[in-house]
Amino acid sequence: MPTYLVTGAAGFIGHWLAARLLDAGAQVVGLDNLNDAYDPVIKHWRLAQLERRAGFRFARADITDRSCLDAEFKRARFAAVFHLAARAGAPQSVARPGAYISANAIGTQHVLDACSAHGVEKLVLASTSSVYGASEHLPLHERGDTGRPRSPYAASKLAAEALAHAHHHLHGLAVTVLRYFTVYGPAGRPDMSLFRFVRWIREGQPITLHGDGSQSRDFTYVSDIARGTVAAEPVAGFEVINLGSNVPVALSDALRLIEECLGRKALVRRVAVPRVDVPATWADIDKARRLLGWQPETSLHSGIEEMVRWYEDNRGWARQLALP
């Protein structure tokens, strides 16, 4: 069976992706540095679910340390690398831009170099809808303008994309860049809005809502994202592909769905919209349908129900997670 490297395997999407590869019978080496960019308790929980599985091996390593990467590439022959390790979150990147450049740009260059040095022929690179900035041309197409990032996070992910293209051009490594749109679901990141809303409403705490909640997001369920990421592995050459739901939803409407699933009303505290925020995201997914045979399957209502169910099942410790 093939062996794959998943960087960022203790992360939200990395955890789901590694589980999907294991379900298909593959061997998976999961690499993560388990940093404290958000509460590492949930990272350890995700990792524990993977370490119970046959075919999974964990390597604690940092992609900014090339020697650590080389050690893992020497231990196994990887059929492909799924590179999801990154510093995520636009608001947090404002305070620590250097950490984002180091992890997302320099770290990605190290992964690219390791792939070519050790004979790996395919890299799937996780990117983000944040690279589109506040574009008014909706839905957002892969050929759209990405020249106006609104945060160090977005700029660092654009740098990773550019480095991947340059490496493909110079060394022939096949690269598929996947731009993820507002991923949510069970065991999600505690710095993201839907996780925070579930936690705050369930615990009877006031929620923080940016502005009036009219900004819309293309919420995409994590298992759909994992399925699309696996589907990108056979794609040849260099491609950039959106993965989104293609159904933008106002934040206030998503909040109402969470209230409905929890059977509780939110206590809303409104604050100013951060400068890094964008009014809307909406993915054009025609290319994903054409090249990957992929489209989302999970409605926002169903996905939020699964989020709420996971939170209730894990509430004993999840309610104590630090929220950035």
Which pLDDT tens digit goes with each residue over 12-41? 999 999 999 999 999 999 999 999 999 999
Quick check: is 44 in a domain?
A: yes
Q: Of the residues 4, 38, 132, 153, which is catalytic?
A: 153
Quick check: is 323 in a domain?
A: no
Query: In what helix (H) or strand (E) does residue 116 lie, and over which residues does it extend?
Result: helix 107-117
Quick check: is 305 in a domain?
A: no
Going 280 to 89 to 234 to 19, the CA torsion angle's sign is negative
Whole-structure pTM value: 0.97
- The mean per-residue pLDDT over the stretch 175-198 comes to 98
Q: pLDDT above 70 covers what percent of the chain?
A: 100
175 in Cβ contact with 294 (< 8 Å): no
Quick check: is 306 in a domain?
A: no
CA 188: distance to chain centroid? 10
Q: How confident is residue 324, by pLDDT bands cut at 50, 70 and 90?
A: confident
pLDDT at 76: 95
Residue 239 has pLDDT above 90, yes or no: yes
153 is catalytic: yes
∠ CA 293-297-301, rounded to 5°:
160
Q: How confident is residue 217, by pLDDT bands cut at 50, 70 and 90?
A: very high
**pLDDT tens-digit map of 288-298:** 999 999 999 99
Residue 319: how many other CB atoms lie within 10 Å: 12
- Considering its fold, how many domains does the chain have in total? 1
**pLDDT tens-digit map of 90-119:** 999 999 999 999 999 999 999 999 999 999
Q: Which whole-number Å values give the CA distances from 274 to 144, 153, 265, in the listed order? A: 23, 14, 25
pLDDT at 130: 97
**pLDDT tens-digit map of 70-90:** 999 999 999 999 999 999 999
Mean pLDDT of the chain: 97
Establish whether the linkage from the previous residue to 139 is cis, with ω within 30° of 0. Answer: yes
Residue 311 has pLDDT above 90, yes or no: yes
Quick check: is 130 in a domain?
A: yes
> What CATH code is carried by the domain that includes residue 41?
3.40.50.720
- The mean per-residue pLDDT over the stretch 153-163 comes to 98
Quote the CA–CA distance of 80 and 15 in Å, as a whole number: 17
Structural domain of residue 139, as residue ranges? 3-185+219-246+282-297
DSSP letter at 9 equals T
Q: How confident is residue 136, by pLDDT bands cut at 50, 70 and 90?
A: confident
- The mean per-residue pLDDT over the stretch 202-222 comes to 96
Quick check: is 311 in a domain?
A: no
Quick check: is 200 in a domain?
A: no
Task: Give the list of residues 6+ apart from residue 320 with CB closer than 8 angstroms, or none.
Answer: 41
Quick check: is 89 in a domain?
A: yes
